[in-house]
Structure formats: structure tokens, C-alpha cells
Amino acid sequence: MKATAIANTNIALVKYWGKRNEKLILPYNSSISMTCHGLFTITTVEFSKKYKRDIVIIEDEELKKDEKNVLGHLERIRKMARIKEKAKVVSKSNFPIAAGLASSASGLASLTLAATKAVGLNLNKKELSILARQGSGSSCRSIFGGFVEWRKGKKEDGSDSYAREIVDEDYWPEFRIIVTILSTEKKKVGSRVGMAQTVKTSPYYRGWLKSVEEDLRIVKKGILARDFTAVGFQAEYNCLKMHALTISTKPPILYWLPSTLEIIQEVFSWRKEGLECYFTIDAGPNVKILCLEKDEKKIVKRLSKIKGVLKAIVAKPGEGAKIINEHLF
């Protein structure tokens, strides 16, 4: 009753922000993301009678409380498999966690696949996506590769709220997301808290829900047509709207650092020069720059001259979650 899975994180081009059902993690709006090759989490799960309690070790540190909803997710999977054995979970990511790089997406996707395989549940990708969503919303997208849409669904039980591939990782191989690491510190306000605060207090939330459908339509159409300008421009616009929501909550949430704003200004400047690139930012300070393969080296070189940039990681479209044979323990 042991299995290991690897899952890449994903970066949202059209953001998911706000839940209509906190328990089942059902979003108010659909979202679109790219699964990122090379930014991954590996998770090993073992269920056994030798464990008297669930043991969860993330980045060599044992979880003292269920801040990541891992224990609740394990219980969910135990009920599905009709077993009582406790589990040991060891999980490691090759990028900073809780810093706005969607570590919960790759983390819960790899946990879901490894745990279900360990208990003998052979779920298809749709079923895995629905299950992963209940641990972390964005993780339902990391089950799949390439460009992915998470449909919000309408049913109260969440059975129609799951992700599916728009196109696989080989459809648009020239597309790049350059992840700039500006801070490796855990953000002060997590996404869950930030979303709840936004829905409750931002005066602009209704406007977000009205306009996000157009973002989805344009970005999806742009991906299918490989129209970089359409995808980049709309993704950037959607990102700015999301951060306008967080800034306008009570009390306000500002995820940005001075270097975040500096990169935003640089991207605007580079575009004026004819270097086509766009930015997107999740709930954290780290900026992701969208570009095509032909421009990635030039942009990475320019980023290296910006004082606040600790590291720049280039990601192309990656594959979905999968089982691997090398265990972490």
C-alpha cells in the first residue's frame, strides 16, 4: 500500500479567485492554466497498520497542524477505499512553497494520485481532478498537461466541477513562462484567506465575475489558434483585475514587493521596444513573464540585471501527474 507520484505545478492565465462552496472547493468562476515542465512536487504515500497516526513530512518538516488540508484529504481517500490504515506522507518540491508559485497545486495533485494508487483505487483523470479539487482547487488542473481549463460547474455536489485539457503539452511547444523568484518567504496571507476576504469585502467582486467570462473566451480561443498576443494581453489584464480585488478588500491585501512593480514596469517598457512579453502574478510577489521561445534568453538576461530577482526559471508546457517508481522513503 505504497506509491509515489510526481506532478508539475500550473500557472493560471485566467485566475480562479473566490469559492461558492468552501468545503467542496467550488469556484465562482472557471479558470485556465499552463502546466509547467520542471516545476514539480514528488510525493510518496504509504498506508499501513504500523502507523498509529497520519505522519506528514513536507520539505523535511513534519506538519504539526493540518494547514495544507493533507490530513483531511487522506481521510477523504480512506473513506473512498473503505480502509482504516493511517498513512505516512513525504513530499518535496523543487521550488519555494507558499510563495505564490502554486505549490499546493502540484502538492495536492501528486498526493491525490499517489494516495489513490496506494490504496488500489484506479481513478480516471476526471475522477482524480474532482478528488484533487477538494484538497486544493488549483491542483485539479495539475492532473493534466499542457493548457488546461477548470470548469466551475453548476451542481451543488461538485460532480461537474473539474479540469480538462484544452491542448496537450506538445501543441504549443514555443510558449514559455519565465518564473522570477523575488522572495522565498511564505506569504503572510494565504490564498484561501485572501479569497474569502475578497468575496466578502471587495466592492469590485461582481465586476470580476461579469468580466471573467470574456477573459476565458479570448484566452481559450488564443491557445487553440496559437495567438500569443491575444493570450498574453488577456492574461495580463486578468491578473491586474485579480490584484485589484485583493488590494480593495478590508483590510487590504497587497502581495507585491517593490521588485514586483519594477518588473511590471520593465515588461511595459520592453513591449514598447518591440520585445513582446506579458506578465501574470498569482497570490504572492513572484512575477511570471509570458514569452515565446525565441525571446526567452534575451528576457532572462535582462532579468539578471534587476536587483530584486533571486532566480529566473524558464518553463515550457509540461505533462500531467504520473506515477513513478522511486520512493522518497
- Quick: pLDDT tens for 203-224: 999 999 999 999 999 999 999 9
CA neighbours closer than 13 Å in the CB half-sphere of residue 235: 29
- 326: which DSSP letter? -
Q: How many residues does the chain have?
A: 329
Residue 99 has pLDDT above 60, yes or no: no
Task: Say yes or no: domain 175-315 is CATH 3.30.70.890.
Answer: yes
Tell me which residue of 242, 294, 236, 19 sits closest to 140, measured CA to CA. Answer: 19
- Could you read off the pLDDT of 283-298 as tens digits, one per residue? 999 999 999 999 999 9
Q: β-strands 163-167, 287-292: how paired?
A: unpaired
- 202: which DSSP letter? -
Q: What is the mean pLDDT of residues 256-273?
A: 97
Q: What is the mean pLDDT of residues 185-201?
A: 88
C-alpha cell, 206: 461582481
d(CA 291, CA 187) in angstroms, rounded, equals: 26
C-alpha cell, 5: 507520484
Angle at 280 between CA 111 and CA 321, to 5 degrees: 20
Q: How far is CA 122 from CA 119, 127, 287, in A?
A: 9, 9, 37
d(CA 18, CA 144) in angstroms, rounded, equals: 22
Q: How far is CA 178 from CA 7, 9, 58, 89, in A?
A: 19, 13, 25, 30
pLDDT band at 101 (very low <50, low <70, confident <90, very high): low
d(CA 126, CA 143) in angstroms, rounded, equals: 9
Asked if residue 114 lies in contact with residue 143, where contact means CB atoms within 8 angstroms, the answer is no
Tell me which residue of 174, 197, 168, 178 sits closest to 101, measured CA to CA. Answer: 178
Task: Report percent pLDDT > 90 for the chain.
Answer: 91
Asked if residue 186 lies in contact with residue 98, where contact means CB atoms within 8 angstroms, the answer is yes
Segment (H or E) for 244: helix 228-247
Identical fold at 2-172+319-324 and 175-315?
no
Asked if residue 288 lies in contact with residue 101, where contact means CB atoms within 8 angstroms, the answer is no
Provide the β-strand partners of residue 5: 43, 323
**C-alpha of 127 from chain center:** 18
Q: β-strands 55-58, 86-93: how paired?
A: parallel
The domain spans of the chain are 2-172+319-324, 175-315
- Could you read off the pLDDT of 133-171 as tens digits, one per residue? 999 999 999 999 999 999 999 999 999 999 999 999 999
pLDDT band at 100 (very low <50, low <70, confident <90, very high): low
Asked if residue 12 lies in contact with residue 138, where contact means CB atoms within 8 angstroms, the answer is yes
Q: Which CATH class is domain 2-172+319-324?
A: alpha beta
Residue 97 has pLDDT above 70, yes or no: no
C-alpha cell, 16: 480562479
Amino acid at residue number 323: I
